């Protein structure tokens, strides 16, 4: 059996609608996820993330290219692939007239788990998601975040070898998100592979071993969060108050971005002292902080848009 | 490598029982819907009772068949709603549960929950008609045949909708027109002769024609009986086969 949990080669998908021009959602995606890895798939709205997840999870056929799950052709052998996967769909909801306990338990049973095992895993998943208190209330009475936690509990309870999570923590409060992260890490520790999409870049950084950025149906970045941050020209961000008018002075230090009167520069740590000296000599005040993944993402995707 | 529920995978209708009980639990909370599921039938029965009490037996038999036909509408509404609003199909079908088990489990769950009022109407029909064993078996067989055709039509149609608001209008129109206009609640003898072959090919009116013939409310030529029986049997096989094929096909965004 393949060492890769997921592999796509030149994966393409074009949506053809009646009376509408064809839309190329994926334009040749090459992607690999090793067993046990946690990988984030990032991109703007409409970049192709959900289309990729739907193809990989056997819910959509590609137009061309190869998609393999544990070495099995997911396009030709979807029935053989499905026992190995579980999916948190984007904007999915539990059945409103089931309680979280019923939702998780009946889902596990429908996947073929025995009663005892399904009960035990249900209790464990509900506890992990902080849902024990609400476990016997109908989902229709729960908040949006609690419903989303029910969806995540339903899927993590499967302990499937490969989990596809499409914006799994959307609508959750910061505490709930951290419970979800802990659960994903625990599952990963048990050997499950996780591919998630998210618009929360802190989540991607906290959870993923590696990330892919997709833009207009193509992978434009494949690496770790750290590598991505370095790729934008440094790991430190210096904000210079009222520096926008003197941007020319600082251009040699790195990419500069003016935001109102403030000038922001991404620099390598070794050039920080030199930059600070220049700012002090110019009578300008500076604030220094690390480059966040969100900033790196904005710059990388922004560059790609500019190039196009 | 471990799988997650591989036992249910790849077997035709794998996971059916579990998803059936899921749907029963989901539907069993809709007490109001259960209580109002007989509204159309009840109103039509009252009309018949007032206008021509002698046709009450025919109308009660028709009400049983119509009730089974409208199970298709419930399946259509449910399948489209949980797909569009809940993405339940994505959750369940990207796993070992087979698409045909998802379809049939949902339909059987709906049937179990909404069956009680139908049994009551069937009891009333028995009280008025006094079925022989053969007639009672024919009633059960025809009801089952109509159910299979209706859930097949309902599930296939459910995959065409992208908006819940459209579903309610069209599903209600379809199932009421094909369940009320043809001779389901009234004797087929009252239906214009030249158009009878058409209604004998529609599942609900084919079933009621056979039942009316059996209880003596209609006298059909052998050819008409053969058309109704043969047509219904063929529709059961073709529609159910197509619906299971379609359930598999539409998992993947077709």
d(CA A81, nearest CA chain B) in Å: 8
Residue A66, domain CATH: 3.40.50.300
Q: Is residue A282 part of a domain?
A: yes
Q: Could you tell me if the ipTM is greater than 0.90?
A: no
- Locus of tokens 């053809």: A16
Please check whether residues A170 and A31 belong to one and the same domain: yes
Please check whether residues A143 and A113 belong to one and the same domain: yes
Are A258 and A247 in contact by the 8 Å Cβ rule? The answer is yes
Domain boundaries, chain B: 37-250
Check residue B90 and give its pLDDT: 93
Query: Biggest alpha carbon distance in chain A?
Result: 73
Q: Give chain B's contact residues with A (Cβ, < 8 Å).
A: 1-10, 14-15, 18-19, 21-22, 25-30, 82, 85-88, 90-98, 101, 105, 251-254
Contacts of A61 in chain B (CB under 8 A): 252-254
Interface of A with B in 130-159 (CB under 8 A): 138, 151, 154-155, 158-159
- Residue to substitute from A1, A61, A80, A112, interface B, most B β-carbons within 10 A: A112
Q: Which two tokens stand for residue B177?
A: 């027109």
Per this entry, what is the length of chain B?
A: 254
What gap in Å lies between CA A27 and CA A20, rounded to an integer? 19
Q: Is residue A55 part of a domain?
A: yes
Check residue B10 and give its pLDDT: 54
Alpha helices in chain A (DSSP H): 49-56, 78-81, 100-110, 115-128, 144-156, 174-189, 201-207, 225-230, 247-250, 272-281, 293-307
Strand partners, A9: A66
- Locus of tokens 């035709």: B12
3-state secondary structure B116-141: HHHHHHHHHHHHHHCCCHHHHHHHHH
Interface of A with B in 44-83 (CB under 8 A): 54, 57-61, 70, 78-80, 82-83
Residue A237 domain boundaries: 233-290
Please check whether residues A207 and A189 belong to one and the same domain: yes
Cβ contact, residue pair B15, A112, below 8 Å: yes
- Identify which of A182, A186, A219, A221 has the alpha carbon closest to the alpha carbon of residue A203: A182
Render each residue's pLDDT in chain A as its tens digit; 308 residues. 578 999 999 999 999 987 888 999 999 999 999 999 999 999 999 999 999 999 999 999 999 999 999 999 999 999 999 999 999 999 999 999 999 999 999 999 999 999 999 999 999 999 999 999 999 999 999 999 999 999 999 999 999 999 999 999 998 999 999 999 999 999 999 999 999 999 999 999 999 999 999 999 999 999 999 888 888 777 888 999 988 888 888 888 887 888 888 998 888 888 899 999 999 999 999 999 888 888 888 888 877 766 76
The residue out of A187, A204, A228 marking a domain boundary is: A228
Q: What is the mean pLDDT of residues B175-194?
A: 90
Cβ contact, residue pair B2, A161, below 8 Å: yes
A161 touches chain B (CB under 8 A): yes
- Identify which of A82, A178, A198 has the alpha carbon closest to the alpha carbon of residue A129: A178
- Residue to substitute from A5, A99, A110, interface B, most B β-carbons within 10 A: A110
Cβ contact, residue pair A110, B92, below 8 Å: yes
Q: Which of A60, A84, A154 minimises the CB distance to B91?
A: A154
Are A88 and A59 in contact by the 8 Å Cβ rule? The answer is no
Interface of A with B in 83-122 (CB under 8 A): 83-98, 102, 106-113
Please check whether residues A205 and A282 belong to one and the same domain: no
Check residue A57 and give its pLDDT: 96
- Identify which of A72, A305, A5, A155 has the alpha carbon closest to the alpha carbon of residue B88: A155
Please check whether residues A203 and A150 belong to one and the same domain: yes
Please check whether residues A239 and A221 belong to one and the same domain: no
Question: By three-state DSSP, how is residue B159 classified?
Answer: coil
Tens of pLDDT, residues B106-154: 999 999 999 999 999 999 999 999 999 999 999 999 999 999 999 999 9
Cβ contact, residue pair B251, A78, below 8 Å: yes
Are A146 and A134 in contact by the 8 Å Cβ rule? The answer is yes
Backbone angles phi, psi at A95, to 5 degrees: -60, 125
* Contacts of residue A203, Cβ cutoff 8 Å, sequence gap at least 6: A40, A169, A177, A181
What gap in Å lies between CA A2 and CA A70, rounded to an integer? 5
For chain A, the domain total comes to 2
Q: Is residue A275 part of a domain?
A: yes
Cβ contact, residue pair B94, A85, below 8 Å: yes
Angle at B12 between CA B11 and CA B14, to 5 degrees: 60
Cβ contact, residue pair B9, A79, below 8 Å: yes
Are A62 and A11 in contact by the 8 Å Cβ rule? The answer is yes
Cβ contact, residue pair A158, B10, below 8 Å: no
Please check whether residues A260 and A186 belong to one and the same domain: no
CB atoms under 10 Å from CB of B140, counted, come to: 12
The residue out of A199, A228, A257 marking a domain boundary is: A228
User: Is the pLDDT assigned to residue B3 strictly greater than 60?
Assistant: no
Q: Return the H-helix or E-strand segment holding B170.
A: helix B164-180
Q: What is the mean pLDDT of residues B173-194?
A: 90
Please check whether residues A141 and A21 belong to one and the same domain: yes
B-chain residue closest to A106, CA distance: B22
Q: Which of B26, B96, B252 minimises the CB distance to A60?
A: B252
The region, left, alpha or beta by phi > 0 then psi within -120 to 50, assigned to residue A165 is: beta
Cβ contact, residue pair B95, A160, below 8 Å: yes
Please check whether residues A29 and A87 belong to one and the same domain: yes
Backbone angles phi, psi at B131, to 5 degrees: -65, 145
- Residue to substitute from A83, A141, A158, interface B, most B β-carbons within 10 A: A83
Give the model's confidence band at B7: pLDDT under 50 very low, under 70 low, under 90 confident, else very high. Answer: very low
Q: Is residue A296 part of a domain?
A: no
What gap in Å lies between CA A13 and CA A23, rounded to an integer? 8
Give this prediction's pTM: 0.89
Q: Which two tokens stand for residue A235?
A: 């790991």
Are A135 and A126 in contact by the 8 Å Cβ rule? The answer is yes
Check residue B8 and give its pLDDT: 46
Residue A277, domain CATH: 3.30.70
The residue out of A194, A228, A262 marking a domain boundary is: A228
Please check whether residues A119 and A25 belong to one and the same domain: yes
């Amino acid at each position: 059996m393949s060492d890769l949990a997921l592999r796509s080669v030149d994966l393409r998908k074009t949506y053809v609608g009646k009376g509408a021009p064809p839309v190329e959602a994926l334009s040749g995606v090459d992607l690999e996820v090793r067993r046990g890895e946690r990988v984030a798939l990032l991109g703007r709205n409409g970049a192709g993330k959900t289309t990729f997840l739907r193809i990989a999870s056997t819910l959509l056929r590609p137009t061309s290219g190869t998609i393999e799950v544990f070495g099995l052709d997911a396009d030709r052998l979807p029935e053989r692939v499905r026992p190995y996967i579980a999916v948190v769909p984007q904007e999915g909801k539990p059945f409103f007239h089931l309680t979280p306990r019923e939702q998780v338990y009946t889902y596990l049973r429908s996947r073929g788990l025995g009663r005892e095992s399904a009960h035990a895993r249900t209790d464990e998943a509900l506890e992990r998601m902080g849902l024990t208190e609400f476990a016997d209330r109908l989902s229709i009475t729960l908040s949006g975040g609690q419903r989303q936690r029910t969806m995540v509990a339903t899927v993590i309870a499967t302990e499937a070898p490969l989990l596809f999570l499409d914006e799994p923590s959307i609508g959750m409060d910061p505490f709930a998100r951290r419970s979800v992260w802990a659960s994903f890490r625990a599952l990963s520790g048990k050997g499950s592979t996780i591919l998630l999409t998210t618009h929360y870049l802190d989540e991607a950084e906290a959870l993923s071993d590696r990330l892919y950025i997709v833009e207009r149906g193509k992978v434009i970045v494949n690496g770790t969060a750290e590598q991505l941050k370095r790729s934008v020209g440094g790991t430190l961000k210096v904000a210079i108050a009222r520096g926008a008018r003197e941007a020319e002075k600082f251009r040699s230090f790195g990419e500069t971005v003016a935001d109102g009167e403030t000038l922001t520069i991404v620099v390598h740590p070794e050039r920080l002292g030199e930059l600070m000296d220049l700012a002090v000599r110019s009578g300008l005040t500076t604030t220094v902080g690390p480059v966040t993944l969100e900033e790196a993402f904005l710059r990388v995707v922004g560059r790609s848009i500019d190039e196009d | 490598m471990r799988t997650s529920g591989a036992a249910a995978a790849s077997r035709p209708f794998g996971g059916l029982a579990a998803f059936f009980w899921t749907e029963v639990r989901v539907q069993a909370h809709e007490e109001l819907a259960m209580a109002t599921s007989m509204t159309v039938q009840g109103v039509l029965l009252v009309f018949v009772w007032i206008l021509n009490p002698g046709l009450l037996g025919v109308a009660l038999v028709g009400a049983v068949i119509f009730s089974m036909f409208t199970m298709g509408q419930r399946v259509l509404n449910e399948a489209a709603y949980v797909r569009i609003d809940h993405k339940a199909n994505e959750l369940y079908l990207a796993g070992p549960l087979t698409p045909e088990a998802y379809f049939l489990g949902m339909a059987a769950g709906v049937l179990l929950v909404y069956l009680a009022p139908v049994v009551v109407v069937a009891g009333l029909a028995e009280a008025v008609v006094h079925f022989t064993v053969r007639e009672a078996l024919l009633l059960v067989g025809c009801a089952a045949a109509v159910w299979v055709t209706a859930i097949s039509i309902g599930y296939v149609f459910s995959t065409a909708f992208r908006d819940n608001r459209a579903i309610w209008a069209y599903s209600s129109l379809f199932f009421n027109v094909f369940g009320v206009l043809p001779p389901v609640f009234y004797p087929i003898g009252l239906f214009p002769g030249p158009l009878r072959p058409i209604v004998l090919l529609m599942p609900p009116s084919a079933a009621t024609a056979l039942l009316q013939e059996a209880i003596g409310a209609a006298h059909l030529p052998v050819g008409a009986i053969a058309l109704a029986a043969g047509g219904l049997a063929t529709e059961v096989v073709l529609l159910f086969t197509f619906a299971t094929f379609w359930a598999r096909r539409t998992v993947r965004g077709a």
